[in-house]
Structure 1
Amino acid sequence: MIAAALAGDSAGELLPAVAEAVFLHGLAGELAAEVYGMRGVIADDLPELIPAARRSITPFA
């Protein structure tokens, strides 16, 4: 889902979109750990933190 959305933003370049998606997923997980604690994070916590993760790496997100 993340890679598909990013591919639309990156002129169809799939490999960079997938790499960014993997990075954002991990970064969202780190943000979730800060909010909920390392043991309190569940998969449903990540989608709400994707925008914050994206903003943290680029101000244009």
Structure 2
Amino acid sequence: WTPLHHACHAGQLDIIQLLLEAGASVDLPTLNGATPLMRAIESCRPSCVEYLIKAGAK
């Protein structure tokens, strides 16, 4: 997992914003193919899901 995956899993929207502003890839998958958006969805983090989609996550 990347720091963005961890932040999405934990629902840390402020960290997600900082990471994306610093250039983190919004769609970078893990070795198993999970994206940060998938982690936010699996962890029931609707505000993070919404933010990631607005940031271009697919």
Q: Which has the higher contact order (CA 8 A, sep 6+)?
A: 2
Q: Taking structure 1 as the reference length, what is the TM-score of the superposition?
A: 0.27
Bigger CA radius of gyration: 1
Normalised to the residue count of structure 2, the TM-score between the two structures is: 0.28
